[in-house]
């Protein structure tokens, strides 16, 4: 694959959690004459999942997955993925008349290893935002609940039932904070990775954008300013933060609005899910202090680790459920396969309930 790198398009991955400001950062960067930043391609997620198709496919999704896996097992799948991605990125750049493409897809945290294997030389931009502010945006924009109908945080006694009952999109948004944030935090030490704090970006957009452009090998002088401009290119797309279409300036009020948008119980939920230790590590010690002054407790690393284990079990449970649905009913060996998957799913649910029971016990003690 190394022979292809020199003739490959210049690709940069912009990483960050949903609702962390990635659309804003991509929008400010793409005004540079060298840079194209399409709305959330999701290309590498599709390539990583190649061969896994909808269970309703008439050919049988499990058969398609088995056949493609068998075929690709005889070749280097990384080379194939790179060739496809190169062709797609290259054609987009040619149409846009640009030199560098920034692939901004928030949930690339789920495929960091795949990105590294296919594009080891690619620069990364890693955007971090105060987790309390992300949670407040999830609540106000998407209606993601941070507490149950009772007075308890969403992540205490009803967590298992919520995970099994609520749509995946809701639990996935909480999983971004619980599982995605620590993965991205660890990614800061990767070579060729530029770290960006949302709060600094909105306070000093001109300086931050110029710094990032220099890191990407672009002439900062070619960009007149980092001011907001029309985002009409986003209108035909279903992806990206739609609020940016209504703005004519970078909104600094978004930095502290979480303080009035979250209740003490909701701040407690975020603190438990993310962990006080990670908040401090990422530079949000003052935000944690504000929450603690409002009455939030630091319940310790053990509580956060239990949440992470619980969400990992749920993540595996989703995978089991997907495989269960994809097994064709007409296959001769499917009865045994479905039985094994169902047993694994039942075991995972019991593990889920066990982790939450331990969590409840710790919380009751504290």
pLDDT (tens digit per residue) in 31-52:
999 999 998 999 999 999 887 7
Query: What is the pLDDT, as a whole number, of residue 195?
Result: 97
Two structure tokens written together for 283:
């530079």
Name the more confident of 107 and 352.
107
The separation between the first and the last C-alpha atoms of the chain, rounded to the nearest angstrom, is 54
* DSSP codes, 107-119: GGGGGHHHHHHH-
Q: Which residues contact 67 (CB under 8 A, 6 or more apart)?
A: none
Query: What is the pLDDT, as a whole number, of residue 142?
Result: 87
Cβ pair 282, 161 in contact under 8 A: no
pTM: 0.83
User: What's the CATH number where 214 sits?
Assistant: 3.40.50.300
In order of 180, 266, 269, the CA distances from 172 in angstroms are 10, 17, 16
Cβ pair 106, 40 in contact under 8 A: yes
Name the more confident of 156 and 235.
235
Packing angle of the helix pair 301-326, 334-365 (nearest 10 deg)? 160
Angle (CA) 163 155 159, round 5°:
30
> Which range among 65-74, 177-186, 318-327, 339-348 has the greatest average pLDDT?
177-186
Query: What is the pLDDT, as a whole number, of residue 337?
Result: 45
Does the pLDDT value for residue 157 go beyond 70? no
The total number of structural domains that make up the chain: 1
Q: How far apart are the C-alpha atoms of 203 and 190, rounded to whole Å?
A: 26
Tell me the residue range of the domain where 9 lies. Answer: 2-365
In order of 37, 170, 172, 185, the CA distances from 110 in angstroms are 21, 16, 11, 13
Q: How far apart are the C-alpha atoms of 363 and 340, rounded to whole Å?
A: 35
Query: What is the pLDDT, as a whole number, of residue 46?
Result: 92
Does the pLDDT value for residue 312 go beyond 70? yes
Please state the rounded mean pLDDT for residues 273-288: 97
Name the more confident of 142 and 165.
142
């Amino acid at each position: 694959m190394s022979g292809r790198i020199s003739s490959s398009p210049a690709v940069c991955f912009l990483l960050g959690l949903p609702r962390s400001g990635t659309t804003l950062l991509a929008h400010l960067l793409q005004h540079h004459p060298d840079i194209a930043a399409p709305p959330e391609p999701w290309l590498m997620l599709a390539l990583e999942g190649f061969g896994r198709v909808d269970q309703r496919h008439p050919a049988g999704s499990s058969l398609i997955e088995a056949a493609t896996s068998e075929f690709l097992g005889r070749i280097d799948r990384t080379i194939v993925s790179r060739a496809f991605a190169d062709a797609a990125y290259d054609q987009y750049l040619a149409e846009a008349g640009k030199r560098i493409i920034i692939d901004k897809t928030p949930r690339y945290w789920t495929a960091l290893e795949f990105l590294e294997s296919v594009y080891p030389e690619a620069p990364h931009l890693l955007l971090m935002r105060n987790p309390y502010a992300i949670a407040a945006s999830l609540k106000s924009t998407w209606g993601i609940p941070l507490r149950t109908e009772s007075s308890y945080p969403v992540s205490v006694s009803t967590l298992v039932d919520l995970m099994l009952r609520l749509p995946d999109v809701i639990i996935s948004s909480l999983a971004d904070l619980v599982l995605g944030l620590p993965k991205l935090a660890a990614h800061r030490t990767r070579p060729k990775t530029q770290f960006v704090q949302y709060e600094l970006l909105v306070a000093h957009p001109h300086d931050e954008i110029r710094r990032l452009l220099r890191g990407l090998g672009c002439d900062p002088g070619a960009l007149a300013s980092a001011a907001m401009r029309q985002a009409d290119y986003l209108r035909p797309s279903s992806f990206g933060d739609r609020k940016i279409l209504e703005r004519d300036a970078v909104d600094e009020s978004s930095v502290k609005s979480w303080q009035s948008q979250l209740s003490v119980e909701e701040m407690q939920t975020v603190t438990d899910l993310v962990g006080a230790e990670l908040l401090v590590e990422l530079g949000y010690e003052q935000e944690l202090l504000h929450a603690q002054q409002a009455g939030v407790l630091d319940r310790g690393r053990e509580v956060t680790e239990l949440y992470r284990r619980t969400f990992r079990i749920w993540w595996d449970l989703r995978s089991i459920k997907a495989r269960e649905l994809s097994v064709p009913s007409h296959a001769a060996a499917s009865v045994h396969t479905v039985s094994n998957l169902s047993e694994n799913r039942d075991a995972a649910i019991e593990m889920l309930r066990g982790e939450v029971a331990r969590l409840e016990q710790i919380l009751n003690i504290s």
